[in-house]
Amino acid sequence: MTEPPGPIDTTRPSAARMYDYGIGGSHNFEVDRQAIDAIHAAMPPGQGRHIGVENRAFLHRAVRFCLQQGVDQFLDLGSGIPTVGNVHEIAHSINPAARVVYTDIESVAVATTRRMLHDVANADIIQADIHDAESILEAPETERLLDFSRPVALLAVAVFHYVAREHDLPALLQRYRAHLVPGSVVAISHTTTDHQSQAYLEAHRRWNESGSEAMVMRTHTEVAELFEGLDLVEPGITWTSTWRPDQATGSEWPSEASACWAGVAMVPPDIVDGSRG
């Protein structure tokens, strides 16, 4: 395990800490709380938190699905601060031998996560840009913890909205997918403006002006493109709140209020890629 790094810069908002605060976490500071409170103020009361909570609940269910399929290795892209129900805790509660590699580009997220994982033998974090797939796939932490000759779960939960439109997102994802053997899982959630209110569009504008990383919204069609060539599991691409919910909760929010498309798919047995040995 890498040693925890030095002090964390708390003078500007951090996307990871803002998200952490939005879902009720404790790894955030006043600058983050002020930024996210201003963004949430543009939405109907409570929707901002609802979006974050439903996205995290989707992550929980996706991890449990992977373990049910016998997949016990996880590569979590752009994880932020893995708190309030993180991947390794969910996985280890079911299979203590499960292995998790988190990635994030933000020093604040990496520093906090390394402190959290300092005594966890089979989980680690890499500081890397998700655009540089090769540096993540070839990192010492990845090589130590993940065996790509066996199925791996690739988690891209609420991270691809940070990939700008000038980048080819399907091609970027394919650089990761090329290393996944049959039986592997790809889980994605992505923010969208589909069926959203003017208030939500205003909140999106405020986020992009907050000083944190800008978000790019994508449509259901664009998210579906990311799953081409994979076997989507039921119910396909749907709102985070309606992807295999644990039970009928009677939420006051309509499904589209979760404002994120989500899907989980398996790498089928007929995929052959020459980059795999």
Strands 231-232 and 238-239: unpaired
Distance of CA 266 to the CA centre of its chain: 17
- In this predicted structure, the answer to whether residue 67 has a pLDDT above a threshold of 90 is yes
pLDDT band at 3 (very low <50, low <70, confident <90, very high): very low
CB distance 112 to 8 below 8 Å: yes
Among 162, 174, 257, smallest CA distance to 218 is for 162
- In this predicted structure, the answer to whether residue 165 has a pLDDT above a threshold of 80 is yes
pLDDT band at 249 (very low <50, low <70, confident <90, very high): low
Work out the average pLDDT over 13-23.
76
pTM: 0.88
Say what the pLDDT of residue 7 is: 55
- In this predicted structure, the answer to whether residue 268 has a pLDDT above a threshold of 70 is yes
**Residues 96-110 pLDDT 10s:** 999 999 999 888 788
Say what the pLDDT of residue 250 is: 58
pLDDT band at 59 (very low <50, low <70, confident <90, very high): very high
| CA distances in angstroms from 5 to 73, 86, 118, 121, 237, listed in the order given | 26, 21, 11, 18, 39
pLDDT band at 245 (very low <50, low <70, confident <90, very high): very high
**Residues 189-232 pLDDT 10s:** 999 999 998 988 888 888 888 766 788 999 999 999 999 999 99
> Which domains, from first to last, does the chain contain?
50-196+217-266 (3.40.50.150)
Other CB atoms closer than 10 Å to residue 15's CB: what's the count?
A: 28
Greater model confidence, 82 or 215: 215
pLDDT band at 151 (very low <50, low <70, confident <90, very high): very high
pLDDT band at 82 (very low <50, low <70, confident <90, very high): low
What three-state secondary structure class fits 88?
helix
